[in-house]
């Protein structure tokens, strides 16, 4: 029996680029990823996504400007925790991405995503994410999808 823990993960898009952060410490250290983390008490999932983005990249987004993209569930061998990760994106933001204690932000072209330095699962679902939310001039159409990931909207993420 797994114990579910909620996490947020947000991707900022600008034209044909996507902002990733190199994690400097803790879980996922030295991997490029979106920005996110745990939900604090009395905070909605979307509020947590906005806060984590600000804390990790110094960018500000409005809760009304972020889109729900998907929902990922991860388990790790020998661990009874299931990471329930809610994925969001936004192309409306304020500020300049700035290095923080947690992350080094960097823009990547959507066709030059550094999958070799990311969580291995990302290469399966990133193309799908780019297709669901193509941004501008971004994302190749997919011809085959074999990934069991839920990309349907979750009503509890929209508050």
With contacts defined by CB under 6 A, name the span among 92-100, 119-127, 138-146, 150-158 that binds ligand 6OG.
119-127
Residues from 28 through 47 that contact ligand 6OG (CB under 6 A):
28, 33, 36-38
| CA 3 – CA 62 distance, rounded (Å) | 31
**Cβ at position 129, least distance to ligand 6OG in Å:** 10
The residue number with the shortest CB distance to ligand 6OG is 36
| CA 8 – CA 6 distance, rounded (Å) | 7
106 pairs with which residues across the strands? 20
3-state secondary structure of 144: coil
36-43: long-range contacts, CB 8 A cutoff, minimum separation 24 = 36/7, 36/8, 36/9, 36/10, 36/85, 37/7, 37/8, 38/5, 38/6, 38/7, 39/6, 39/7, 39/8
**Cβ at position 136, least distance to ligand 6OG in Å:** 23
Residues from 42 through 81 that contact ligand 6OG (CB under 6 A):
74
- Pick between residue 97 and residue 143 the one whose CB is nearest to ligand 6OG: 97
Q: Binder to ligand 6OG among 121, 140, 150, 156 (CB under 6 A)?
A: 121
- Pick between residue 78 and residue 137 the one whose CB is nearest to ligand 6OG: 78
122 binds ligand 6OG (CB under 6 A): yes
| CA 15 – CA 151 distance, rounded (Å) | 23
| CA 90 – CA 127 distance, rounded (Å) | 17
**Cβ at position 116, least distance to ligand 6OG in Å:** 14
Residues making contact with ligand 6OG (CB under 6 A): 7-9, 26-28, 33, 36-38, 74, 83, 85, 119, 121-122
């Amino acid at each position: 029996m797994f114990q579910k823990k909620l996490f947020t993960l947000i991707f900022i898009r600008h034209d044909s680029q996507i902002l990733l952060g190199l994690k400097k410490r803790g879980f996922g250290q030295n991997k490029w990823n979106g920005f996110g983390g745990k939900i604090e008490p009395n905070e909605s999932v979307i509020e947590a996504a906005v806060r984590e983005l600000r804390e990790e990249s110094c960018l500000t987004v409005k809760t009304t400007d972020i889109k729900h993209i998907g929902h990922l569930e991860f388990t790790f061998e020998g661990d009874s925790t299931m990471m329930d990760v809610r994925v969001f994106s936004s192309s409306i933001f304020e500020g300049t991405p700035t290095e923080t204690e947690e992350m080094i932000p960097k823009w990547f072209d959507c066709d030059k995503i550094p999958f070799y330095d990311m969580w291995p699962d990302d290469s399966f679902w990133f193309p799908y994410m780019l297709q669901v939310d193509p941004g501008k001039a971004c994302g190749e159409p997919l011809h085959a999808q074999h990934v069991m990931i839920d990309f349907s909207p979750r009503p509890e993420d929209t508050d």
